Structure 1
Amino acid sequence: MNRIAIGPEGQFSLEGENFVIDVSVKGRRQSTSEAFTIVKNEPYLRVYDDLASGFSPRSILELGIFQGGSYVFLDKLFKPRRMSAVEIGPQPVALLLRYVAGMENRFVHFSTSQCDREILEQIVRKELADQLDLVVDDASHTYEGTKASFEFLFPLLRPGGIYVIEDWSWAH
């Protein structure tokens, strides 16, 4: 569909929000009031853009959000009715919290493991109203963590839902 025009420094805008791509291993930029940092390369972004042309998830659960750029990107691209995310990191991302503040049916959880079945169940039941259409796992990048959340969440996907596991080779 090609709704994303990426500039020479990895910058792009979508639905009024600015993003900067940063896939460096160390020293990644923080999200700022000018732009969210997104840790996805251009081919990943194109896959999601293509997916959005024929798939309209009503609910999205994202595992792993780093600086919040992917959360906002998925929200703007797919426009789900409900969206939630978990991040193991304890430090909330202020810009992301400002983004979701006052928005209905948008949730973010810090200090939360993708392996915590109890919390994931609460999120799916309460925040996503038992509707799970798209799961994006960009969290632990480990077999154990990925497997634990997959075994719990995949059976909860609605028919036609999609489960994405990103960056599998990243930690290996």
Structure 2
Amino acid sequence: MNRIAIGPGGEFSLGGENFVIDMSRKKDRRPSTSEAFTIVKNEAYLRFYELLASTFSPRAILELGIFQGGSYVLLDKLFNPRRMSAVEISPGPVASLLRYVVGMEDRFVHFSTSQSDRKILEQIVRDELADELDLVVDDASHTYEQTKASFEVLFPLLRPGGIYVIEDWSWAHHPAY
């Protein structure tokens, strides 16, 4: 069942792509490179998505929060959806992620885009995901208002049997961050 074998340095490979787990504070995290995508998910999250992928086959995925692109690529490799899109509030594109999606006609990434922008989210679901939203992974702002705004827009657009995941919402509320 475990398709992901994590090495001692937090490294693993999946579907021909290399990843490095980096759970350090955001300002100290390594950027994704042409050699490996940085992913900010602990082993429990990786196992959760492995298990989900063994029983669920979404046609279209929308990820909220790209950071360094590691989770986008992980979700793509685990689920192999027909279409996939993601939004990120940060303005700077992630070069390794742009290289990954180049030439893929049904893979999209949007930078400088808020997860709470109703108009953009509805447009993405309609135009890029062909109104087939099956899985939403919210790993973006980790704040109540933005998370709620996204949920209010996207949850009603999920197809029957679809899944909406709000990841590690509480970490942003710890004083250390």
Coarse TM-score class (shorter-chain normalised):
over 0.9
Q: Secondary structure at the residue paired with 2:137? A: strand
- Write the mapping of 1:18-33 to structure 2, written as runs, cut at 5 A: 18-25=18-25, 26-33=27-34
Counterpart of 1:68?
A: 69
Instruction: State, as a whole percentage, how many aligned pairs show the same letter.
Output: 85
Counterpart of 2:124?
A: 123
Amino acid at match of 1:150: F
Residue 104 in 1 paired to residue 100 in 2?
Answer: no
Distance in 2 between residues matched to 1:113 and 1:170, nearest whole Å: 19
Counterpart of 2:165?
A: 164
- Write the mapping of 1:34-45 to structure 2, written as runs, cut at 5 A: 34-45=35-46
Distance in 1 between residues matched to 2:50 and 2:121, nearest whole Å: 27
Q: Secondary structure at the residue paired with 1:171? A: helix
Q: Encode CA deviations 1:31-60: one digit per residue, 9 max, x unaligned.
A: 011100001011000000000000000000
Distance in 1 between residues matched to 2:145 and 2:24, nearest whole Å: 24
Distance in 1 between residues matched to 2:55 and 2:23, nearest whole Å: 27
Counterpart of 2:54?
A: 53
In structure 2, the gaps of 5 or more residues are none
The Cα of 1:143 is off from its aligned counterpart by 0.5
Residue 4 in 1 paired to residue 17 in 2?
Answer: no
TM-score normalised according to structure 1 size: 0.99
Q: Encode CA deviations 1:110-143: one digit per residue, 9 max, x unaligned.
A: 0000000000011000000001000000000000
Amino acid at match of 1:162: I
Flag the structure with higher helix content: 2
Count of residue correspondences:
172
The Cα of 1:11 is off from its aligned counterpart by 0.2
Amino acid at match of 1:2: N
Distance in 2 between residues matched to 1:30 and 1:44, nearest whole Å: 20
Q: Secondary structure at the residue paired with 2:3? A: coil
TM-score normalised according to structure 2 size: 0.96
The Cα of 1:104 is off from its aligned counterpart by 1.8
Consecutive aligned runs of 4 or more in structure 1 exceeding 6 Å deviation: none
The Cα of 1:23 is off from its aligned counterpart by 1.0
Distance in 2 between residues matched to 1:111 and 1:124, nearest whole Å: 18
In structure 1, the gaps of 5 or more residues are none
The Cα of 1:80 is off from its aligned counterpart by 0.1
Distance in 2 between residues matched to 1:131 and 1:94, nearest whole Å: 28
Q: Encode CA deviations 1:77-114: one digit per residue, 9 max, x unaligned.
A: 00000000000000000000010000120000000000
Q: Secondary structure at the residue paired with 1:170? A: helix
Counterpart of 1:93?
A: 94
The Cα of 1:61 is off from its aligned counterpart by 0.1
The Cα of 1:149 is off from its aligned counterpart by 0.2
